[in-house]
Amino acid sequence: MRVLIIGAGTGGLCLAHGLKKAGVGVALFERDRTPRSMLIGYRVGISPDGSKALHSCLPPDVFAEFVRTTARPPKHIVMRTEKYKELLVGEIDTELDDSRSEKSVSRIAMRTALLGGLDDVVRFDKSFRHYSHNDDGTVTAFFDDGTSETGDVLVGADGAQSKVRRLRLPDAKVVDTGITSIAGKLPLTDETVKLLPPLADGGITLLFGPQGEFVIIHVMRFDGTGIEDDYIMWAYASAHEKFPDMKGMSPAELKQVVLNMTPRFHPDLRRMFSLATPETVFQIRVRTSERLQPWEPSNVTMIGDSVHLMTPGRGIGANTALRDAELLSRKLAEAHQGKDVVQAIGEYEREMVEYGFQAVEASREMMDGRSLAHKPVIGRVVSAFSRTFLRVTNAVPPLKRKMMAEDAAERDHVSSAHEVVRAG
Ligand SMILES: Cc1cc2nc3c(=O)[nH]c(=O)nc-3n(C[C@H](O)[C@H](O)[C@H](O)COP(=O)(O)OP(=O)(O)OC[C@H]3O[C@@H](n4cnc5c(N)ncnc54)[C@H](O)[C@@H]3O)c2cc1C
C-alpha cells in the first residue's frame, strides 16, 4: 500500500512516521520550499496525549531528539491583570516521564526533529493542487509544478486552508470567531528577562485587560539544543471591532497597533511589544470549523486542522492532529495487513469526528469574540480560562477543585479571583 500525505506539519509528519514504522509505503509533499521557510516558530504546548501519540508513531531516536529539542517545560500557570497584578498561580506537575509530561515546543524545532529519518519520504516545494480517482481504485495527486503522484490513499494534512478539504468535503464550513490576535517574539536576554512579570520565566502567563482583551506570554529556554535561540513570545488578542483596518500593514505597523490599543498596560509589557523582532510579528483572525455531517468514506481522508480547525483557546489543535495521526496510522496499518482500506478509513473518520469536534466546540467556547466584545468582568474571564487549563490542572487536583469551586463565585465578583492558589 502507498499513502500520499499532503502537508509536513504537526499531523502529517507524525502520520508519516507511524506509517513508515508499520511498513506502509508513504510519500509526503510539502509546499514550503525548505524545512525552515515560512515557519514562524511560535510555541505549541504538547500535552500528555500529544506526547503519547508521538511516542507511539516515532522511532525511539526521533522521539528522543524531539524531547531533547523542547524548551524547558512550564512549571506554573499565572494569571495577572494587564498591570501585572497577580490573580492566580497554579503549579504544573513536571515530574511525569517524557512520554506523558507537558512539553513546550517551538514549531521550527518540532519540524526539524520530526523530519529525522524521513529523508526518503518528504519532498519540499511540492504544492498540492487537486486529485482524481482512477479506475483501478488508486488516487492521483497533482501539484503546481505540473507533476503528479499516484497512491492507494490520499491524506490531507494541509492545515487550516486545506485544499484537500475543499475538494473532498466542499460543504465543510470554516467560520470567523470574531477574535483577532497579533503575536511576536523577542530574544530572551539579560535585559529582556527583566521586563517579564514574576514567575513568567518558567511558566505560562495570561494577562487580562479591562476591556476583555488578553495577552499570553511564553518564555522559551532551549538550554543550548542548538536549533533555536531562547525567546519570549507574546500574543495579544481582542474582539475584531477593537482593531483598526490592518489590511496591508507591515509587522512594524502591527506592533504599533498593539501599542496604541494598550496605553495603560504595564510599561514593561509594552516594552516587550515594541522589542519584538519585526519578521516574527504576525496577525491571525481566529477561525474555527463547524461540525460536519456524516459522509461516505473513500480513499481520500484528512487529519488535523484540515478537517477540524479550532481556535487556540484550549491549546489542543496540535494535540488533536497528533491523535488523528496515531489513530489513522493504526487503521491504515490494519488495511496494509488485509482489512478493506475504505472500511479502515471509515472507522478512523467516525472516531475522529467525535473527539475532533468535541475539541472544536470546547476551544470555541473559550475564544469567542462575542464574549470578548462585552465589558470586562475579569473574574468571568479567569474562570473561563481556568477551564482551558483543565488539561494541565488535571495533574494538580487541588488547583482544579479550587478553580471549579470558584467558577460560579467569580462570575460576578472580581475580588474573589484576587487570590493566590498554591497547589500540591
Ligand atoms: C499562535 C498559535 C498557537 C498555538 N498553540 C497551540 C498549542 O499550544 N497547543 C496545540 O495543541 N495547538 C496549538 N496551536 C494549533 C496548532 O498549531 C495546529 O492545530 C496544528 O499545527 C495543526 O496541525 P496540522 O498538521 O493539521 O497542520 P499544520 O501544522 O498547520 O501543517 C499543515 C502543513 O501543510 C502545508 N500545506 C498547506 N497547503 C499545502 C498544499 N497545498 N500543498 C502542500 N502542502 C501544504 C503547510 O505548509 C503546513 O506545513 C496553535 C496555533 C497557533 C496559530
- The CA 407 to ligand 1 mean position distance, Å, reads 32
pLDDT value for 368: 66
Residues in the chain: 424
Query: Looking at residues 57-80, what average pLDDT do you find?
Result: 92
- The CA 84 to ligand 1 mean position distance, Å, reads 31
Q: Average pLDDT over the chain, rounded to whole? A: 86
Q: What are the percentages of helix, strand and coil residues in the chain, rounded to 5?
A: 40, 25, 40
Q: Report residue 37's pLDDT band, with 50, 70 and 90 as the boundaries.
A: low
Helices (H), 309-422: 317-336, 341-366, 369-373, 378-388, 390-393, 397-410
Q: Does the fold of domain 176-287+375-406 match that of domain 2-72+103-174+295-370+413-423?
A: yes
- Residue 8: closest CA among 210, 158, 215, 180: 158
Ligand 1 interacting residues, C-beta cut-off 6 A: 6-12, 29-32, 42, 44-45, 127-128, 157-159, 163, 183, 284, 304-306, 312, 315-319, 321
CB-facing half-sphere around the CA of 381: CA atoms within 13 A: 30
- The CA 11 to ligand 1 mean position distance, Å, reads 8
- To test the pocket of ligand 1, the residue of 4, 10, 182 to mutate (highest count of ligand atoms within 8 Å of its CB) is 10
pLDDT value for 389: 47
- Residue 54: closest CA among 318, 370, 407: 318
CATH topology for 2-72+103-174+295-370+413-423 is FAD/NAD(P)-binding domain (3.50.50)
* Residue 386 clears pLDDT 90, i.e. is over it: no
Q: What is the pLDDT of residues 11-35, one digit of tens each?
A: 999 999 999 999 999 999 999 998 8
Q: Report residue 260's pLDDT band, with 50, 70 and 90 as the boundaries.
A: very high
3-class DSSP state for residue 195?
Answer: helix
What residues contact 165, with CB distance under 8 A and at least 6 apart?
156, 158, 172, 302, 306, 307
- The CA 41 to ligand 1 mean position distance, Å, reads 11
* Residue 113 clears pLDDT 90, i.e. is over it: yes
Query: Looking at residues 45-74, what average pLDDT do you find?
Result: 93
* Residue 344 clears pLDDT 80, i.e. is over it: yes
Residues of the chain above pLDDT 70, percent: 83
Q: Report residue 99's pLDDT band, with 50, 70 and 90 as the boundaries.
A: low
* Residue 102 clears pLDDT 50, i.e. is over it: yes
| For the chain, domain boundaries | 2-72+103-174+295-370+413-423, 176-287+375-406
Query: Looking at residues 214-239, what average pLDDT do you find?
Result: 90
Q: Angle at which helices 107-114 and 60-68 pack, to 10 degrees? A: 160
- To test the pocket of ligand 1, the residue of 102, 112, 158, 319 to mutate (highest count of ligand atoms within 8 Å of its CB) is 158
Residue 71 grid cell: 524548551
CATH topology for 176-287+375-406 is FAD/NAD(P)-binding domain (3.50.50)
Query: Looking at residues 319-325, what average pLDDT do you find?
Result: 98
pLDDT value for 94: 64
* Residue 391 clears pLDDT 50, i.e. is over it: no
pLDDT value for 89: 82
The alpha carbon of residue 18 and the mean position of all alpha carbons in its chain are separated, in whole angstroms, by 20
Residue 28 grid cell: 509526503
Q: Report residue 371's pLDDT band, with 50, 70 and 90 as the boundaries.
A: low
Residue 199 grid cell: 514567575
pLDDT value for 88: 81
Which of 37-51, 89-103, 117-131, 368-382 comes out lowest in average pLDDT?
Answer: 368-382
Most confident range (mean pLDDT) of 215-229, 255-269, 274-288, 305-319 is 255-269
| Amino acid residing at 420 | V
- Asked whether 421 and 402 are in contact (CB, 8 A), the reply is yes
Q: Angle at which helices 48-57 and 317-336 pack, to 10 degrees? A: 30
Give the N- to C-terminal CA distance of the chain in Å, as an integer: 50
- The CA 397 to ligand 1 mean position distance, Å, reads 31
pTM comes to 0.88
Q: Report residue 103's pLDDT band, with 50, 70 and 90 as the boundaries.
A: confident
Q: Report residue 211's pLDDT band, with 50, 70 and 90 as the boundaries.
A: confident
Rounded Cα distance, 76 and 203, in Å: 4
